[in-house]
Amino acid sequence: MGRGAGMVGKLVVLDLWICVALVVVSCQERTDGPPPNQGAVAEWEALQIEADSLLKAAQYDQGLVAANKALQLAEQTHGPDHPGVARCLNTLARLHRAQARFSQAEEIAKRALAIREKALGPDHPEVATSLNTLAELLGDLGQYAQMEPLLQRALAIQEKALGPEHLEVSESLKNLASLAYVQGQFVQAEQYIERSLSIREKSLGSEHPDVAESLNLAGFAAFAQGQYAKAAPLFKRALAIREKALGPEHPDVAESLTSLAMIHRTQGLYSAAEPLLLRALAVFEKSLGKEHPRVASCLRGMASLYLDQNLYDRAEPLLLRGLAIREKALGPEHPEVAASLNGLAVLYDGRGQYGHAESLYKRALEISEKVLGPEHPGVAVSLGNLAVHYRVQSLYAQAEPLYMRALAIDEKALGPEHPEVARILTSLAMCFLDQGQLFKAEPLLVRALTIAEKAFGPEHPKVARALSSLALLYTSLGQYSVAEPLHQRALAIREKAFGPENFEVANSLHNLAAHYRDQGQYAQAEPLFQRAAAVTEKALGPDHPHVATCLDSLAGLYRKTGRDAEAEPLEKRAAAIRAIRR
């Protein structure tokens, strides 16, 4: 809940870049070109196929051994400029990319591209494959302006050489969709995905696993736009296809389960999300082994579900296990390790263990800067997390420059109208608001709202968040007539998006109630506080700290209206909730 309204919003880790990077990786875990006739497979070709298989299994060290040996044999057999050498180099680049050795991978990918252009000509489909690989690496490094022309060139080559309905065209469309997604161009992303889906359905039939992959991506595009009613059936259809085509214990089935769980978690339906994640975890562990990075990602999702509910003791072992898996599989300086460190830091912040949290945030930031470079959006995420850590401790002098640096990075890398820019603007504004610097906060919040409305449309939950923050500002300024319609609009958006019994709805109810209370309009405030308390308890459980906040607010209203006997049991219950160890 906002400042002055009672509830304090939960500290949140936003790993947008990591999420999108995972989507791109999942799209690209495929063999580099069709396998040769098995009866005529040379030794280097067999090793190259083995390296591809090891990449898919996340056995990166073994994959590198096979890929390097394949490259050596291919060079000995055919010379350094043969297309077969380029094929080995492309696989080797993808293996280095998986372990976050982006600069090394980029150089290898560039050599593969040069070989293919020289040996095959600039318009050969294998050139398009190399262009896609290189573009993905540039995306990892945050170089989006350089990424797009490579993807567009790859698409043009494939359309000309293979025809606009070829399956390889669908792969380039997926990468273009991922780029549009990370740039906040969600409508454009959806258009690319829909075309990719159409190609696959036409070529493969409606129940092919590749169709399910496109459906899952279409679900993410709808989800990003707040279209949860549209996203859910896409995820469900993808799940049904995968279960039928691949069997119930395939990793892609687990991926669909986690996608559905994400929808439920966003809507506050934690009891619906948890069994999906538990089943996904079991599938990942059985199919891939208990130390696979995808197991770590699933553990992170489960931990986030528990963190949303302040169930720290249930989240901590999952986060620790996920961190250990990632450090072992990916090395101690991988961006996914940084994401795990951020998750643990959030937990320790929630417990008030600020010293422990700070060291983890700083380590995550150090990894991001070293691996991704100092001006990457992933660095901005780490800076923002550390800034929130300082802000919740009222260490504003330390928080503010971190917010400013994160803002500068995102504006440069993503553009001034990207949703991530709006997020940082809102956080910086709340930092000013906490310090009573209301007039510094106002233009930032107005700009954040404008960005959110343009990026998501007027009825997206993120627009509601911007409206709520701006309304709290105007309430603090005593501009109640300006604040009230903003509170009401935020409430209406959230009720429409999430339903009447979601915690985000309770947040808006609480803010609107406090708005009336601050004006002495107690009769209007009371039913809103009561409903906020009931919804919060139903959504989060009777012992959640946010329930205690609602109870205290209602008790305070009773005190103001001379109803001390009604206030006392609420205050006692709130105190008992806060005494519970998390």
At residue 124, φ and ψ (nearest 5 deg) are -85, 145
pLDDT tens, 249-279? 999 999 999 999 999 998 888 899 999 999 9
Higher pLDDT, 459 or 321: 321
Confidence of residue 20 (pLDDT cuts 50, 70, 90): very low
* pLDDT class of 103 with cuts at 50, 70, 90: confident
pLDDT value for 29:
37
More confident residue, 105 or 582: 105
Question: Who has greater pLDDT, 489 or 28?
Answer: 489
Of 24 and 446, more confident: 446
Among the residue ranges 28-32, 394-398, 475-479, 494-498, the one predicted with the least confidence is: 28-32
Q: Is 523 exposed, middle or buried (0-12, 13-18, 19+ CB in 10 A)?
A: exposed
Cβ neighbourhood burial of 573 (10 Å; 0-12, 13-18, 19+): middle
What pLDDT, on the 0 to 100 scale, is given for residue 181?
Answer: 84
**Tokens linked to 492:** 């209406």
Sign of CA dihedral 429, 433, 435, 438: positive
Is the pTM here over 0.85, yes or no?
Answer: no
**Cβ-proximal residues to 245 (8 Å cutoff; 6+ apart), any chain:** 207, 208, 209, 212
Q: What is the pLDDT of residue 34?
A: 47
Confidence of residue 166 (pLDDT cuts 50, 70, 90): very high
Helix (H, G, I), strand (E, B) or coil at 100: coil
pLDDT in tens, 39-71: 445 899 999 999 999 988 778 889 999 999 999
pLDDT category of residue 100 using cuts at 50, 70 and 90: confident
Contact present, 189 and 221 (Cβ < 8 Å)? yes
Task: Extract the tokens encoding 439.
Answer: 């007039």
> Pick from 145, 147, 120: which is nearest to 134 by CA?
147
Token reading at 381:
């995420």
Q: Report residue 28 as tokens.
A: 């690209």
Q: How far apart are CA 140 and CA 22, in angstroms?
A: 10
**CA 236 → CA 195, 304, 348, 354, 541, distances in Å?**
20, 22, 35, 41, 28
pLDDT for the residue numbered 81 = 95
Section 335-364 average pLDDT: 94
* pLDDT tens figures, 528-558: 999 999 999 988 889 888 999 999 999 999 9
The per-residue DSSP string of 458-472 comes to TT-HHHHHHHHHHHH
463-477 tens-digit pLDDT: 999 999 999 999 989
- Please identify which residue in the block is written with the tokens 């009222």: 394
Q: For the residues 144-155, what does the mean pLDDT come to?
A: 93
pLDDT value at residue 167: 92
> What pLDDT band is residue 352 in, cutting at 50, 70 and 90?
confident
Mean pLDDT, the chain, whole residue set: 89
Supply the pLDDT for residue 503: 87
- Specify the pLDDT at position 372: 86
pLDDT at 293 over 50: yes
Mean pLDDT in residue range 23-38: 43
H runs (alpha helix) in 351-416:
354-372, 377-391, 396-414
Instruction: Measure the CA–CA gap between 365 and 177, rounded to whole angstroms.
Output: 28
pLDDT at position 41: 54
Q: Is 52 exposed, middle or buried (0-12, 13-18, 19+ CB in 10 A)?
A: buried
pLDDT of residue 14: 36
Q: What is the DSSP track for 38-99?
A: GGG--HHHHHHHHHHHHHHTT-HHHHHHHHHHHHHHHHHHH-TT-HHHHHHHHHHHHHHHHT
Give the whole-angstrom CA distance, residue 421 versus residue 82: 46
Handedness of CA 208, 210, 216, 221 (dihedral sign): negative
Q: Do residues 128 and 168 touch, judged by C-beta distance below 8 A? A: yes
Distances (CA, A) of 133 to 64, 314, 346, 513: 17, 39, 34, 53
Q: How far apart are CA 304 and CA 283, in angstroms?
A: 19
Question: At 83, is the pLDDT very low, low, confident or very high (cuts 50, 70, 90)?
Answer: very high
Q: Is the pLDDT of residue 9 over 60?
A: no
What's the pLDDT tens digit per position in 194-227?
999 999 999 999 999 999 999 999 999 888 888 8
pLDDT at 162: 95
DSSP 376: S
Mean pLDDT over 479-484 rounds to 96
159-184: burial string, b at 16+ Cβ within 10 Å, e else? bebeeeebebbbbbbbbbbbbbbbbb
